[in-house]
Structure 1
């Protein structure tokens, strides 16, 4: 069974570090993992010891076209790789991506930490994007990849997302089994988490959202998070002095740096209970694709993409 989990929250909340710790937790347990750095600041890849080069980015035009060409396969419903939009679904003849080491997408566009764990990065703004770039455009190839993952495959997909609520711009909010919102006990961090929950509720995916409290010093901090968010965090981490010392030394974070690594187990256990069935997710993705198909700029650039639906 494949599990897709995202980490998000206010910038500086610790979401990238927690995502890296969770990847290492899964790795130590022997799981197959695809870690995807989808933050414009590109923090997850370095936290896992991977150098994120611009030419290797999933959103690099050459790489995005290669990936879409592979995903397209012989699907007659899509008029070539240039006609993928963010919500384009797999269809007859499409190729699905697995987490096997030999999968063409992983082999061509991911860095292997070992034969079971691979790391990709979406990319960031480059000098040529100044004044013309939009990071939502970069994320579209990630949405294509996520929608073309083989649901029967075994393993975990862990994404470090853009801070804030950008996941609601297209379909990312509907792509994950669990979305972990990392929240500090501060008004600014809580406001982002609260807004995320509000948008998730409106989008029909509130049950997929889980709060993890970070930098929680005492019971007053925990009570503050519960009171302000109206929900109990599924896991809580404290100040984590050992982790801070490791980061100050330039060492990638490891679960053993935590004062108590059981929070990582609680996140994994929570993810084991899916909140959205495969049928419900497919229906939601169809709705989002039809909404995308109705946009004027999509019709002008790609024609009627509603015909991409089976």
Structure 2
């Protein structure tokens, strides 16, 4: 299952991403991806090192994933939305090509920060495109979780990446600003069938829960109260998931249960991959590459695990 964490800057989505990744790792294989412009997920997980950034190896990723797909001429004609087709290299979560480092039972991957050459000339979406390509070619199965810490606010809608998930957790503080980001995100996501579940954070009283419930309704699935253990973790003191208070474990269990209950809709995933590639091709990619990238869409390609022959 693919899980995104979004929310207002400072809402605690990176902290929640790290806690959920640790918790899910007790159930199955977890890849956690830091796709935020502020690269703090490794810090929250307690990583002592950082893997090679995906955002710095886009050409290599494209060459690897296009495999022998005859619809893709070369890496230069492959863009972030190029969908897989016959001959493409499909990957699983154990694929060794994608750099990661182990930390607390989780495999951490990062898009990487801005480099000196990026400053003033590039936007961060070029790096996040590596995650979109990764998810478009990934075949994940039961007991496998990809947890992505996304950019803050509604910036995720600058690409089709927001449709690449089975469930999106929106981390919301009990404030007008937190609820405002929820309304904006939910409004954009509604037309694409993206399931958004709200996790309240920095809850200090029952009144905070009542406020969120009144504002977001049934989309509020759980919440986390102030946690001395989490504050210690954020201050750099030693932390394991066993240090988390029981209420925090209950919230994470609710979240994981909700993820596991989501149906895997490969048909929608493939349809939207083609839709967003078509949009990008007509908006800019055809002009940028000098090619008709609509021909990269393979109408006969079927997403998901291969079905054994009878």
Q: Give the alignment's TM-score, normalised by structure 2.
A: 0.89
Offset of 1:263 from its aligned partner? 0.7
Name the SS of the counterpart of 2:38 in structure 1. coil
1:112 lines up with 2:102 in the alignment: yes
RMSD over aligned Cα atoms: 2.0
Cα distance 1:268–1:44, how it changes in 2: closer, same or farther (>3 A)?
same
**Residues 234 and 20 of structure 1, relative CA distance in 2, 3 Å threshold:** same
In the alignment, the residues of structure 2 paired with residue 226 and residue 275 of structure 1 have an alpha-carbon distance, to the nearest angstrom, of: 25
Q: Aligned-pair distance for 1:117?
A: 3.3
Offset of residue 256 of structure 1 = 3.0
Which position in structure 2 is the counterpart of 1:128?
117
In the TM superposition, residue 65 of structure 1 has moved relative to its aligned partner by 1.8
SS at match of 1:120: strand
1:147 aligns with 2:145: no
Offset of residue 259 of structure 1:
4.4
**Secondary structure of the residue that 1:67 maps to in structure 2?**
helix
Pair 1:161-2:150 in alignment? yes
Structure 2 residue aligned with 1:87: 81
Tell me the residue number matched to 2:307.
Answer: none
Instruction: Find the counterpart in structure 2 of residue 59 from structure 1.
Output: 55
> Which structure 2 residues correspond to residues 1-310 of structure 1 after superposition, within 5 A?
3-29=1-27, 31-51=28-48, 56-60=52-56, 63-100=57-94, 103-106=95-98, 109-113=99-103, 117-152=106-141, 154-202=143-191, 204-206=192-194, 208-252=195-239, 254=241, 256-260=243-247, 261-274=249-262, 277-310=265-298
- Partner deviation per Cα, 1:15-69 (whole Å, 9 max, x = no partner): 001110111112233x11111000110011122233565x811001xx2222221
Maintained 8 Å contact 1:111/1:119: yes
Q: Deviations over 1:133-170 (max 9, x none)?
A: 10111111110001000144751101001011122111
Mark the CA change 1:32 to 1:40 in structure 2 (over 3 Å): closer, same or farther: same
The answer to whether the 8 Å contact 2:32/2:109 transfers is yes
Counterpart Cα distance in 2 of 1:253 and 1:81: 42
TM-score (normalised: structure 1): 0.89
Q: 1:152 to 1:171 in 2, by over 3 A?
A: same
Residues paired across the two proteins, number? 297
**Structure 1: unaligned runs, 5 residues or longer:** none
Contact 1:37 1:45 in 2 (8 A): yes
Q: CA-to-partner distance for each residue in 1:198-240, whole Å, 9 max, x for gaps?
A: 11113x224x111000111222111111222233411111111
CA distance in 2, matches of 1:120, 1:271: 21
Distance 2:188 2:250 in 1: 29
Structure 2 unaligned blocks of 5 or more:
299-310
